[in-house]
Structure 1
Amino acid sequence: MTLGRHRYPARQRSDEMRSMKRRRFPGFLCGMAALLASLPLAGAEVVFNRPVTLIVPFPAAGGPDLAARILASRLQERLGQAVVIENKPGASSMIGLAAVERAAPDGQTLLFTTITTVIAPYVLSKEAGDRKGILGTLVPVIAPATTPMLLVASPRLGVTSLKPLIDLARSKPGLTYGSAGIGSGTHFAGEMFKRAAGVDLLHVPYPGVAPSIVGTMRGDTSLLFAALGAALPQIKNGNLVPLAITEKKRSSLLPEVPTATEQGVSNVEIHAWYGIFAPTGTPDAVRDKLNQAVNAVLALPEVKKDFAAQGVEVLGGTPAELAGLVKADDDRYGAIARSLNIRAE
């Protein structure tokens, strides 16, 4: 007799094993079905079965909103579904980001945003800001475009370049400049300019790009740092006076305007890009479909023309390239935020 072991006839043991397999097999099938359902099929066609929503975390009629609408008008032809723009401004773009974070990871709800969303966690209070940053919250899809940043003035100010502006600011401390909000890229540009030029300017934050442009056009604020894409129509109409490009080189979209460095004010370089992000967990096949569709739209001559009319240059590329832009800006502007102590309490 063998201890610890039951002795059954071979046929009885075989019958029991078959019975155990029959009891376990349905559960095994259910588990495999759930696993397979959660994975995209290799080579399967990605199909969008309802309208795609591009959430723009800024007010309507600003630069990001206009660029998103140009893209959406052509993108729906590539995706086979309508592409809807939904503006969710507030909290330096964090309200819009949170809406996409909560969305299903199916590529049907996306964030169309700017550098402001990278900067925001460094300047918002702990309760309002997402300390993880955008790459810890969403996944990159593509950077459709880029637009230079520049300093413009109200025509009422009576200046057309930096030297007379700096002389005026030094003789009249407290000259006002507007931005798209506390912690926005335009706010950072203003604070960097103040330090580089050695002038005292009073910051007036607006709830978005479009309101800040209107405020400067009316003369409520004397100066404004803005993306060229948002300010160009009003520059062409004479409602805003361009003073300096805040980048390393002049813009081909406004080549007659010199850079700040050319006018003797260095270390005021800030670059604006537009990026599309999806909820974490979005399958790679879906991200690839979106990336390919946007790149195809960006290659259309009419899209390039429409972007250029808004002061925007086509960029495009891979999700990894957008991630690289975000990482570089996260490192740079995080350091600037700490250095300048820019906070929104």
Structure 2
Amino acid sequence: MKTPTRRRALLAVTAMAAVLATGAAAAQGGYPTRPVTLVVAYPAGGDTDVLARLFAEKLTARLGQPVVVENRTGAAGTIGSAYVAKAPADGYTLLFAPNTLAIAPLVLKPGTGASYDPQKDFTPIIELGKQSLFIIVNKEAGVTKVSDLVARAKSGSLQSYASPGNGSPMHILGELFNKSAGVKLAQVPYRGSAPAIVDLLGGQVPMMFSTLGPVSQYFASGKLAPLAVADQKRSPFAPNVPTLVELGYKDVDVGAWQAVVGPKGMAPELVGSLNKHFNEILKMPDVVARMATIATTPVGGDPATLRTLIANDYARYGKLVREFGIQAD
């Protein structure tokens, strides 16, 4: 038989548990009760868009509400990013972004769309994957190795490269390669990788700096070829392609990452819930396999790790932008 004191203690514990449960539910607000928008600031067909659609499908099944990918392009991705920065912090508008998120505001002039601070205007949720950057050439350009490319650039017969936009990691890599190789290749910026690849295939531009995913399908046919990778080590997705370091070009180690962020001020409980979902999706064998097809290595982790990554990239690339005087309209 329970004593009155023990009964009161049990009632108090039960009441406290109910309060905590109610508080947690209130913090989540029953999220989600309507569709979630995952904004991609680049055109359809590029790595970011492909990955966003993969994760949107998996997240839809887990949340029980549609997760819709919306492409809001322009100004090197800053239009879509700024849109999310100004959205309500309720978890219904999220941004799926590469590390251009941290770089583009350093390069673009005021008034061009880069009206956000990557460190202050977003809530980090998770880093999803890392990617290597490669030098890719159109085979008809007659270039089979980096030394050929440099010789052609110095002679003036090869003058430009395509990039997916001003302030992209590929743009930064182009500037670093120019310095290391002693050449002056001019950037031709596009609104994402997909349109840049169209012109690369058509011969309008002879080369580009790119992740492997959007271009690897053209290697077997002989239309495009990778010459080098901008990592300290060779990529497991292209082990026969040498690094620029191996070939004698220093200080050209530039990579890319993909992440999810939300507007600033999102509730920690909501961020934690989304982070858990994404981490668990990253463990799915079919997701790992799909990411491998576009040469993306799964990462995962907590929001704090992504916050540090954004801050480090902002500092590192800020220094490079100032050093090279990189600025685009």
Judge same fold: TM > 0.5, yes or no: yes
Aligned to 2:105: 121
CA displacement at 1:120 relative to structure 2: 1.2
Q: Secondary structure at the match of 1:230?
A: coil
Q: 1:88 to 1:169 in 2, by over 3 A?
A: same
Name the amino acid aligned to 1:291.
Answer: N
Residue 139 of structure 1: CA displacement? 0.9
Partner of 2:219 in structure 1? 235
List aligned pairs for 1:38-57, cutoff 5 A.
Answer: 41-42=23-24, 47-57=31-41
Aligned equivalent of 2:4: none
Q: Secondary structure at the match of 1:182?
A: coil
Aligned counterpart, 1:76: 60
Q: How much does 1:222 deviate?
A: 0.8
Structure 1 contact 248–269 (Cα < 8 Å) conserved: yes
- Residue 42 of structure 1 aligns with an amino acid whose one-letter code is A
Q: Distance in 1 between matches of 2:223 and 2:71?
A: 26
Structure 2 counterpart SS, 1:261: coil
Residue of structure 2 in register with 1:306 after alignment: 290
Question: In structure 2, which of residues 86, 93, 96 is the aligned counterpart of residue 109 of structure 1?
Answer: 93
Q: Distance in 1 between matches of 2:248 and 2:265?
A: 47
Percent identity between matched residues is 38
1:204 equivalenced with 2:188 (yes/no):
yes
Q: Is the 8 A contact 1:307 1:314 kept in 2?
A: yes
RMSD: 1.8
Q: Please give the alpha-carbon distance, in whole angstroms, between the structure 2 residues aligned to 1:293 and 1:260.
A: 37
Quote the residue 1:152 is aligned against. Answer: 136
Equivalent pairs counted in the alignment come to: 307
Alignment of 1:202-281 (within 5 A): 202-281=186-265
Establish whether residue 178 from structure 1 lines up as the match of residue 162 from structure 2: yes
Per-residue deviation, 1:172 = 2.4
When normalised by structure 1's length, the TM-score is 0.85
- Residue 264 of structure 1 aligns to which amino acid in structure 2? G
Distance in 2 (CA, whole Å) between partners of 1:151 and 1:120 is 21
Per-residue deviation, 1:231: 2.4
In the alignment, structure 1 segments of 5+ residues that lack a partner are 1-35
Could you tell me how far 1:220 is from its partner in structure 2?
0.7
Residue 256 of structure 1 and its aligned partner are, at CA, apart by 0.9
**Does the 8 Å CA contact 1:174/1:200 hold for their aligned counterparts?**
no
Q: How big is each residue's C-alpha offset from its partner over 1:65-103, in whole Å with a ceiling of 9 and x where there is no partner?
A: 011111112121111111111001111111111211222
Tell me how far 1:47 sits from its aligned partner.
2.7
Q: Is the 8 A contact 1:51 1:84 kept in 2?
A: yes
Q: Which consecutive residues of structure 2, in runs of 5 or more, have no partner in the other structure?
A: 1-18
Whether the 8 Å CA contact 2:140–2:223 is kept in 1: the answer is no
Alignment partner, residue 336 of structure 1? 320
Could you tell me which of 151, 168, 172 is aligned with 1:188? 172
1:88 to 72, 75, 89: 72
C-alpha spacing 1:159/1:173, structure 2 compared with 1 (3 Å): closer
